[in-house]
Each structure stands twice: as C-alpha cells, then as structure tokens.
C-alpha cells in the first residue's frame, strides 16, 4: 500500500489526541502535525475542518476524520497489524469484541473517576473518587487482564486495547507523584489489582505511549487548571 498522506491536528496535552499519536507510532506511519492552541478560541479555518473545535482531527489522503476512537480504529483497520486482527481472520471477530469490551469498560466504568478525583475540591471527595476508581479496576478490569503478557490477551506487543487506554494509564502512573492524586491510589491498585498494575506499568513505559508525553508539562498544566478551578 502506498504511504498515505497524513496530517494530524493535535495538542500534546490532550489524552484523546494522544490516542492518535500512539496509533501512528505503533503503525510506523509518517505524518505532519499541526498543534492547535486550546487556550484560545478555534480559528474559523480549524472550525471548517472540525466543526466541534476539538482535537484530534486527522486528514488522511484528503479525507477528514474526527473523534479519537474513530481515528484510531480507522488507522488500525486501514493498516492491518499486530494491534487488532481483521474481523474475518480466525478468532478475529472475537478478539475485536474482547478489545472493544475492555476499552468500553475502562472508559465507562473506571476512567471518569480519575478526572473527578483530580478536580475534586475537598479531601473527602478526592478519597471517594479514588476509592471508586480502585474498586472499579478491581471489579471490572482485573479479571480481564489475568492473561496479559504483558499486554492485552496474551500479547507481547501493544494492541488496540492499549492504544485506546494508554494515554490515561500513563497519567495514572505518573501524576500522583506530582501531588495531583493521593499517591496511595497506586499502592492500593498494586495490592488489590496486581494484574492491572503489572499491565499498567508496562503500558506506561512503552515508547509509543511515552512518545509525546511530557510529564512535567502535563503535571504543571493540570495543577494550574486545578488551582483556577478551586479558586473559582
Ligand atoms: N470525544 C473527543 C474528545 C476530544 C476532546 O475533548 N479534546 C479536548 C482536548 S483534551 C478539546 O479539544 N477541547 C477543546 C477545548 O478545550 O476548547 C475525542 O475522543 O476525540
């Protein structure tokens, strides 16, 4: 297949845009990037490309695609690889369903508690959301990672399960040491959900996940947003 012409509209502080970067890194696809400044209103030019004004957006051989999950799934389907089997490969449909369930569970049952805990105003609220996060990991994700090796469903390479969750996992594993969440969230997880902890450690160290992640900058900008929110 000829190398596609790809332009990614992104912002390196955005975990949703980070998903597209992980896809492109894993698939080894070259791309041009344009950083969208999220601190100012979107330009009319960008709103023509993405009327929602969000990042990420991708232009792929002249076609515009938006929404991070759709972009990452499209790239994985357009460039079949170790990330996810095609649906008519032996066991392909089942593996696709397993990955979809894992990602849906992470996003719908677990992840929102991380942001709620980060931006909560009182210690009691923070501890409540941390507990909800850990409890949901134990109940919902720990059993799904029993055979991780170290990645989803016995894979020694990243899969689409990690592509779509890695940007959040690296934040979970790095931000508590900057005081953004109580450090015990990680010790609680390591004792109560060892499969998840081992998997998360491997995900958060993978070069395709660490690629654009600037820990110091993310910690600083998150703290600034937090301070503004708490002062309001
Ligand atoms: N559902 C969207 C969410 C994308 C999103 O919320 N992006 C944020 C940055 S992390 C954004 O562009 N916000 C626009 C703004 O802050 O004005 C996706 O998955 O692509």
CATH code, 11: 3.40.30.10
* Domain carrying residue 24: 6-78
In the predicted structure, residue 73 carries a pLDDT above the cut 90: yes
Residue nearest ligand 1's atom 13 by CA: 54
- The answer to whether position 87 is within a domain reads no
Residue nearest ligand 1's atom 6 by CA: 54
Beta bridge partners of 7: 32, 59
Predicted pLDDT of residue 85: 97
Q: How close is the Cα of 41 to the center of ligand 1, in Å?
A: 13
Asked whether residue 107 falls in the same domain as residue 197, the answer is yes
- The answer to whether position 83 is within a domain reads no
Predicted pLDDT of residue 2: 85
Asked whether residue 41 falls in the same domain as residue 117, the answer is no
Asked whether residue 58 falls in the same domain as residue 124, the answer is no
Asked whether residue 159 falls in the same domain as residue 212, the answer is yes
**H-state helical runs in the chain:** 15-27, 44-49, 68-78, 92-105, 112-119, 123-136, 160-163, 166-174, 184-192, 194-205, 207-210, 215-231
Asked whether residue 143 falls in the same domain as residue 206, the answer is yes
- Which pLDDT tens digit goes with each residue over 103-135? 999 999 999 998 888 888 888 999 999 999 999
Q: How close is the Cα of 16 to the center of ligand 1, in Å?
A: 7
Q: How many domains does one find in the chain?
A: 2
Residue nearest ligand 1's atom 14 by CA: 54
In the predicted structure, residue 93 carries a pLDDT above the cut 90: yes
Predicted pLDDT of residue 119: 83
- Which pLDDT tens digit goes with each residue over 176-199? 999 999 999 999 999 999 999 999
Q: How close is the Cα of 171 to the center of ligand 1, in Å?
A: 16
Predicted pLDDT of residue 159: 98
Instruction: Give percent of the chain with pLDDT exceeding 70.
Output: 100
In the predicted structure, residue 232 carries a pLDDT above the cut 80: no
Asked whether residue 97 falls in the same domain as residue 181, the answer is yes
CA distances from 152 to 45, 185, 196 (A): 40, 22, 10
> Do residues 163 and 19 lie in contact, with contact meaning Cβ atoms separated by under 8 Å?
yes
Predicted pLDDT of residue 115: 86
Q: How close is the Cα of 228 to the center of ligand 1, in Å?
A: 19
Mean pLDDT of 151-163: 98
- The answer to whether position 1 is within a domain reads no
Asked whether residue 113 falls in the same domain as residue 60, the answer is no
Residue nearest ligand 1's atom 16 by CA: 38
Q: How close is the Cα of 33 to the center of ligand 1, in Å?
A: 16
Mutate which of 15, 16, 34 to test ligand 1's pocket (most atoms within 8 Å of Cβ)? 16
* CATH, residue 225: 1.20.1050.10
Residue nearest ligand 1's atom 10 by CA: 14
User: Which of 26, 50, 78 is the endpoint of a domain?
Assistant: 78
Predicted pLDDT of residue 94: 98
- Which pLDDT tens digit goes with each residue over 40-51? 999 999 999 999
Mean pLDDT of 137-144: 98
Asked whether residue 122 falls in the same domain as residue 28, the answer is no
Asked whether residue 105 falls in the same domain as residue 71, the answer is no
User: Which of 78, 106, 126 is the endpoint of a domain?
Assistant: 78
In the predicted structure, residue 230 carries a pLDDT above the cut 90: no
């Amino acid at each position: 297949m000829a190398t596609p012409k790809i332009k990614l509209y992104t912002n390196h502080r955005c975990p949703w845009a980070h998903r597209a970067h992980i896809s492109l890194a894993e698939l080894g696809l070259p791309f041009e990037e344009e950083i969208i400044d999220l601190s100012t209103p979107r330009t009319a030019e960008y709103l023509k490309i993405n009327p929602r004004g969000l990042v990420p957006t991708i232009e792929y051989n002249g076609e515009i695609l938006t929404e991070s999950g759709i972009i990452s799934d499209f790239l994985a389907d357009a460039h079949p690889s170790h990330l996810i089997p095609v649906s008519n490969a032996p066991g392909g449909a089942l593996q696709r369903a397993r990955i979809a369930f894992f990602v849906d569970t992470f996003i719908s049952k677990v992840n929102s508690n991380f942001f709620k805990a980060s931006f909560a105003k009182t210690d009691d609220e923070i501890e409540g959301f941390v507990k909800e996060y850990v409890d949901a990991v134990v109940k919902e994700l720990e059993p799904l990672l029993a055979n991780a090796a170290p990645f989803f469903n016995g894979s020694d390479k990243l899969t689409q399960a990690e592509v779509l969750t890695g940007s959040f996992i690296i934040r979970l594993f790095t931000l508590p040491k900057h005081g953004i969440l109580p450090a015990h969230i990680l010790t609680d997880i390591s004792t109560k959900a060892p499969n998840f902890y081992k998997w998360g450690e491997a995900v958060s160290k993978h070069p395709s996940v660490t690629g654009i992640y600037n820990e110091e900058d993310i910690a600083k900008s998150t703290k600034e947003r937090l301070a503004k929110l708490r002062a309001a």
